[in-house]
Amino acid sequence: MPPLETALAELSSELRRAKAAGFSYAKIIHGYGSGGKGGAIRDGVRKALAGYRRSGRIRAFVPGEEFSAFSAETRGMEDACPEIAHDPDFARQNHGVTVVLL
């Protein structure tokens, strides 16, 4: 498991790479954390993504546990990128992932 700073540097790099390659969305697999309450990497990734959204670097993101048709954020992402609903984690309430609309 990398330190948080390393994980965040990789997140930034991979999001840049995915955008440059023309991907519409990305799924970040950060894990849930071994303590049963969510780990530092998961929380740090989601905090960084909130900042990226505010700055316009990404369009939107939704935590895996909210990634379903019942989430307004997911429905908005699906309007912009219909293939997102075909992701294997759609509606699976996976706390170990976060989906990002690039």
Please report, for the chain, the start and end positions of each structural domain, with discontinuous segments joined by +.
4-101
pLDDT value for 91: 96
pLDDT value for 27: 97
Pairwise CA distance, residues 102 & 75, whole Å: 15
What are residue 88's phi and psi, to 5 degrees? -60, -20
CATH T-level assignment (fold) for domain 4-101: Ribosomal Protein S8; Chain: A, domain 1 (3.30.1370)
pLDDT, tens only, 15-47: 999 999 999 999 999 998 766 665 899 999 999
pLDDT, tens only, 39-98: 899 999 999 999 999 999 999 999 999 999 999 999 999 999 999 999 999 999 999 999
Contact in structure between 68 and 74 (CB atoms under 8 Å): yes
